[in-house]
Amino acid sequence: MNLKSTLKTAFSALVRNRARSLLTMLGVVIGVAAVIVTVAIGAGARASVQNQINSLGSNLIIVLPGSVTQSGARTGSGGASTLTPQDAVAIAALPDVSAVTPVVTVRTQVVGGGANWQTTISGVAPTYTYVRQWALAEGTFFSDADVASAAKVCIIGQTVVANLFGTTNPIGQTLLIKNVPFTIVGTLSARGQSSVGQDQDDTVIVPYTSALQRLTGGTFVNELMVSGDDQADTSGVQTEITALLEQRHRITNGQDDFQVRNLADIASAASASATVMEYLLASVAAVSLVVGGIGIMNIMLVSVTERTREIGLRMAVGAPPYAILSQFLIESVGLSLIGGAIGVIVGFAGTYLISLLANWPTVIAPEAVVIAVVFSALVGAFFGYYPALKASQLNPIDALRFE
Answer yes or no: is pLDDT of 77 > 60.
no
Answer yes or no: is pLDDT of 349 > 60.
yes
Determine the residue type at 287: V
Partners of 174 in beta bridges: 183
Q: Virtual CA dihedral for 209, 156, 89, 261, nearest 10 degrees?
A: 120
- Determine the Cα–Cα distance for residues 312 and 207; give it in Å rounded to an integer: 91
Q: Are 331 and 24 in contact (CB under 8 A)?
A: no
CA distances from 102 to 63, 81, 205, 317, 390 (A): 9, 13, 12, 89, 77
- Determine the Cα–Cα distance for residues 38 and 49; give it in Å rounded to an integer: 17
- Give one DSSP letter per residue of 314-369, joined into a string: HHHTT--HHHHHHHHHHHHHHHHHHHHHHHHHHHHHHHHHHHHHT-------HHHH
| pLDDT computed for residue 196 by the predictor | 61
| pLDDT computed for residue 28 by the predictor | 84
| pLDDT computed for residue 179 by the predictor | 92
Continuous segment of H or E residues that includes residue 41: helix 18-55
Q: Are 357 and 271 in contact (CB under 8 A)?
A: no
Q: Are 160 and 176 in contact (CB under 8 A)?
A: no
- Average pLDDT of span 82-108: 93
Answer yes or no: is pLDDT of 56 > 60.
no
- Average pLDDT of span 169-195: 91
pLDDT in tens, 305-333: 777 777 777 777 777 787 778 877 888 88
Task: Read off the pLDDT band of 53 (50, 70, 90).
Answer: low
| pLDDT computed for residue 170 by the predictor | 95
| pLDDT computed for residue 401 by the predictor | 65
Task: Read off the pLDDT band of 27 (50, 70, 90).
Answer: confident
- Determine the Cα–Cα distance for residues 187 and 364; give it in Å rounded to an integer: 35
- Average pLDDT of span 11-23: 77
- Determine the Cα–Cα distance for residues 52 and 54; give it in Å rounded to an integer: 5
Q: Are 219 and 84 in contact (CB under 8 A)?
A: yes
Rank 205-214, 270-279, 303-312 by mean pLDDT and report only the highest: 205-214
Answer yes or no: is pLDDT of 281 > 90.
no
- Give one DSSP letter per residue of 214-246, joined into a string: III--S--SEEEEEE-TTS-HHHHHHHHHHHHH
The mean pLDDT value of the chain amounts to: 83
Q: Which residue has the higher pLDDT, 326 or 46?
A: 326
pLDDT in tens, 114-169: 999 999 999 999 999 998 888 999 999 999 999 999 999 999 999 999 999 998 99
